[in-house]
Amino acid sequence: MRQNKIALRTEQEHIKLVLFGGKTATHRHKEGSLRSNSALKPGSVSRSEPTHALALKREELARARLAARAWAQSLEDSDRSTHAAWFAQTAMEAFAAAISPSLVLSSSPSDNHTALDATACRLAESIGCEAAYLPLLEGCHFLTSLYTTLLPAEERSELGAFYTPASLSKRLVDLADEGGIDWATARVLDPASGGGAFLLEAASRMRKALEGSEPAFILAQLGARLSGMEIDSDAAALSQMALEIFLADLTATSGCPAPQFIKVCDTLEIAPSPTYDLVIGNPPYGRVRLSAAQRSLFARSLYGHANLYGVFTDIALRWTKAGGVIAYLTPTSVLGGQYYSALRRLLATEAPPEAIDFVHARRGVFEDVMQETLLALYRKSGEPRPYQVHYLHVDNEREARLTKNGKVGLPQDVGAPWLAPRQPAHVKLIAAAERMPARLSDWGYRVSTGPLVWNRFKSQLRERAVRGSLPLIWAEAVTSNGKFVFRALKKNHAPFFKVEPGDDWLVVDEASVLVQRTTAKEQARRLIAAELPLEFVEQHGGVIVENHLNMVRPGPSPKISPATVAAVLNSDVVDQLFRCISGSVAVSAFELEAIPLPAITEMAEFEQLVGSRASRARLEESLRRSYGLKA
């Protein structure tokens, strides 16, 4: 711990030198050097916009956030959450004092900052003061996100709490705009409001729509029409403080206090009423254990284990009035994953999508991003129709560029994966795929996962063949160029498995196609497949397949050879089609079985080419023709 504190002091001294030219926060306030000499004025950047000075300020604050995170990581985990809240609230108080010195924050715990040591307190105060030089909304976003940044990773995962960058919160509110929201009259709810990113954006639109009205009237309107729910009382306090700072000019002019916008509660336990024109947010995600009563309540949207995102989407439907819209930041896996099949049916029936933005972020832009992301707009009681697809290219936390693409429709079976173009070229591919009548089951194949979970059978792994052992097939046996090579290269990967009595269910005794179960969108191919040759299986009397591989196995009467199935899965056209289905690194059996394929009668030429070992280019041309695409 002592070494951590020494490292922390060094980092914080570096930040002081960067931010204050070698002076402490106290010296800076006494001398007023930055405020008197800088082109920036607290809270006035949006008017003067001295670009270079503002860019420097953002760089300084980014470094300060790193120092704050280093400080938080030096704390004991049991203390970290409480200290993260104190730190963020101290920074928010300093921010409020710089923006509106007379403002008294209703949520400010006045003595909490005394629990911070002097160095952490100075760092928090300096961050708050420096944030005051940013545009007001940006400063609020920066400080409310600071709390989430400082939480332990385990707690962030448990709460499903990951901050929303301003570029995404602004665009999601823009989507609501495009959905016809009238900010002068709309009632808006964020059922998992966190740091209040969407409430701040919505408050800004409401203020603008009511411009020219009396300040007291605007405050009353916002109090009646803008609401948030949040289970984390510290996050709720911070977002309330940010809203009060944003509305400080109205409260000062009117003499009226800011409304209380956020209710601290467990949203899952609140009885909904469909009274909101817009339900918006970045709902938490991750598995959740529901009570029996909750599982019964949300049964319509559940398949297998419950995920917080799915539950909060169901909740949004219950709070939105007919004709209203739901604007959600969403994991892309909702479009294709089996666990979301019931949710897709529910959305298609009760609130079909009107627009989807796929988020393409430059590497390193976001902290703690766990998976691919999209922004979605759904219309409660709307008619299912083709929805608009956009691509949001995020350059940094504040700025993003929008590219408009075409429209795509929902599949006939709305519980099946929703094909959606991840890039413009995919639109024609999806149109072709929608005409394809077959799936792997129509070709006589089924998909299952390799049965062996190796760490449950460690004692049966063998480094060389012994009596009663069989070859153990690991994921690395399927090479990146689609070949099967019997090998075990990684740590703990033994090449043989000693079969014991009762292990017959583990033995694979037929030719099949092996497909790697985990690939990323950055890889050259998402689908990496290889035929497991019948000759190899018969030579050894069977094999054992580990569960990081999928097995595409023939039924009693397969209509096409395993080698042909492997060649189809390894093709560019099917790989791109799979990218339009999958929203995670997992290559699931459910998604493989959902790939649209040509009728078996269209595959004769392709199978002949596979048998003659034709070039990859010729195979690709033939398959494209089978899909009705230009070769």
Query: Considering just the CA atoms, what is the radius of gyration of the chain in Å?
Result: 28
* 577 in Cβ contact with 433 (< 8 Å): yes
pLDDT exceeds 90 at position 285: no
User: In terms of Cα–Cα distance, which of 307, 310, 321 is closest to 382?
Assistant: 321
Q: Is the pLDDT of residue 459 over 80?
A: yes
Does the pLDDT of residue 325 top 80, yes or no? yes
Tens-place pLDDT, residues 61-86: 999 999 999 999 998 888 888 899 99
Contact of 312 with 346, CB cutoff 8 Å: no
What's the rounded Cα separation, in Å, for the pair 551 and 477? Answer: 13
Residue 483: pLDDT band by 50, 70, 90 thresholds?
very high
Q: How confident is the model at residue 159 (pLDDT cuts 50, 70, 90)?
A: low
Structure tokens at 585: 């690194």
Q: Mean of the pLDDT values across residues 195-209?
A: 96
pLDDT at residue number 156: 67
* Between 248 and 150, the higher pLDDT residue: 248
Structure confidence at residue 363 (pLDDT):
60
- The fraction of the chain above a pLDDT of 90, given in percent, is 75
Instruction: State the pLDDT at residue 157.
Output: 64
Residue 353 pLDDT: 97
Q: Which of 138, 139, 121 is nearest to 130 (CA)?
A: 139
Amino acid at the residue 44: S
Q: How many CB atoms lie within 10 A of CB 90?
A: 25
- Tell me the average pLDDT across 603-627: 96
pLDDT score of 245 more than 90: yes
Tokens 């007001």 belong to residue: 136
Confidence grade of residue 41 (pLDDT, cut at 50, 70, 90): low
Look up tokens 């959902």; give the residue.
594
Q: Across residues 77-99, what is the average pLDDT? A: 92
Give the residue-averaged pLDDT of 30-47: 43
First to last CA, the chain: 64
Q: Identify the band that residue 399 occupies on the pLDDT scale cut at 50, 70 and 90.
A: confident
**pLDDT level of residue 304 (50, 70, 90 thresholds):** confident
**Distances in Å between the alpha carbon of 436 and those of 341, 411, 629, 631?**
21, 12, 12, 17
Q: What is the DSSP string of 210-255?
A: TTTS-HHHHHHHHHHHEEEEES-HHHHHHHHHHHHHHTHHHHHHH-
Q: Reduced to 3 states, what is the DSSP secondary structure of residue 549?
A: strand
pLDDT band at 4 (very low <50, low <70, confident <90, very high): very low
**pLDDT band at 153, cuts 50/70/90?**
confident
Q: Would you state the pLDDT for residue 79?
A: 83
Check pLDDT > 70 for residue 37.
no
Mean of per-residue pLDDT scores for the chain: 89
Three-class DSSP category at 180: coil
What confidence tens digit (pLDDT) does each residue in 350-395 have?
999 999 999 987 565 555 555 688 999 999 999 999 999 999 998 8
Q: Is the pLDDT of residue 531 over 50?
A: yes
Specify the pLDDT at position 183. Answer: 98
pLDDT at 421 over 90: yes
pLDDT at 12 over 70: no
Structure confidence at residue 152 (pLDDT): 79
In one letter, which amino acid is 291?
S
Instruction: Place 162 in a pLDDT band, splitting at 50, 70 and 90.
Output: low
- pTM of this prediction? 0.86
For residue 141, pLDDT over 70 is answered with yes
Extract the tokens encoding 10: 């060094």
In this predicted structure, the answer to whether residue 164 has a pLDDT above a threshold of 90 is: no
**For the purposes of burial, counting CB atoms within 10 Å of the CB of 3, is it exposed (0-12), middle (13-18) or buried (19 or more)?**
exposed
Q: Is the pLDDT confidence value at 166 over 50? A: yes
Average pLDDT (21-49) is 42
Q: What's the average model confidence in pLDDT over 585-590?
A: 94
pLDDT in tens, 252-272: 999 999 999 999 999 999 999
Instruction: Answer for the pair 43, 53: CB distance below 8 angstroms, yes or no.
Output: no
> Using CA atoms, how far apart are residues 537 and 539, in angstroms rounded to an integer?
6
> Distance between CA 139 and CA 161 in Å, rounded?
20
Nearest-angstrom CA–CA distance, 577 and 557 = 26
